[in-house]
Amino acid sequence: MPDLKERYRYKSTHRRYLLHKGYLNMAETFTISGFSVIYQCHGVPTSVVNYGPHIKTLKSVIEDLTQGVVAIEGQHGEGKAGLASVVCSEIPNTHLIDGRKSKAISRYRQAELISLVDPSIIYVLNECHLKAGDELTSNVEQHVRAGGVVITFVQVGDDVTLSSDLTLARMSLTRERLSLNGE
């Protein structure tokens, strides 16, 4: 069996290979500073994105919506997790449920977190697929019917399937802008 030093050398070499081939996201971690997100790779800052205009656009959509679901679609690496964190730090009364950490938070636990319906809370779901018949989806629908708002960040629009009687605003995300689909 290889010693600890040899295993670490293999892991770090393998990781660099995956980064080089594009299998791992370069922006592994990030720090929130106001409306800005500082993306870091191995502790070294790689880029800073100001999400101020994104938040302004999102706030106006939420005000117009009053109740419903806002589905924000963005490709891998466009900053969904960063924007979700900024939303939770800059918009009052929000609660983040991060599906990327699904190993730690099961789908059942995610659904349980929303089952405590308080329409004043804006739930922010990152990478949580909403499919008809799913317990998480039915709790989201119940929250919206009670007058609440849910913001969900997904890679493709097909990840969000809701009852036809609910209001659904679809938006597109790039690091440069957030826009309503059709604009």
pLDDT 10s digits, 146-164: 999 999 998 887 778 888 8
Angle at 138 between CA 61 and CA 131, to 5 degrees: 80
Strand ordering across the sheet containing 168-173: 94-98, 122-126, 149-154, 68-73, 168-173, 178-180
Q: Which residue in 50, 40, 47, 77 sits closest to 155, CA to CA?
A: 77
User: What pLDDT is attached to residue 108?
Assistant: 56
Strand ordering across the sheet containing 29-33: 29-33, 36-41, 44-50
123 by Cβ neighbours in 10 Å (0-12 / 13-18 / 19+) ranks as: buried
Non-local (6+) Cβ contacts of 123 within 8 A are 94, 95, 97, 114, 140, 143, 148, 149, 150, 151
Euclidean distance between CA atoms 140 and 157, whole angstroms: 16
User: What pLDDT is attached to residue 5?
Assistant: 45
Confidence tier at 56 by pLDDT (50, 70, 90): very high
Residue 33, strand partner residues: 36
pLDDT (average), residues 46-68: 91
State pLDDT tens for residues 60-82.
Answer: 999 998 889 999 999 888 889 89
User: What pLDDT is attached to residue 104?
Assistant: 46
Q: What percent of the chain lies above the pLDDT cut of 70? A: 72
User: What pLDDT is attached to residue 139?
Assistant: 83
Prediction pTM value:
0.77
pLDDT (average), residues 122-135: 83
pLDDT (average), residues 120-147: 85
Query: Which single residue is written with the structure tokens 């604009």?
Result: 183
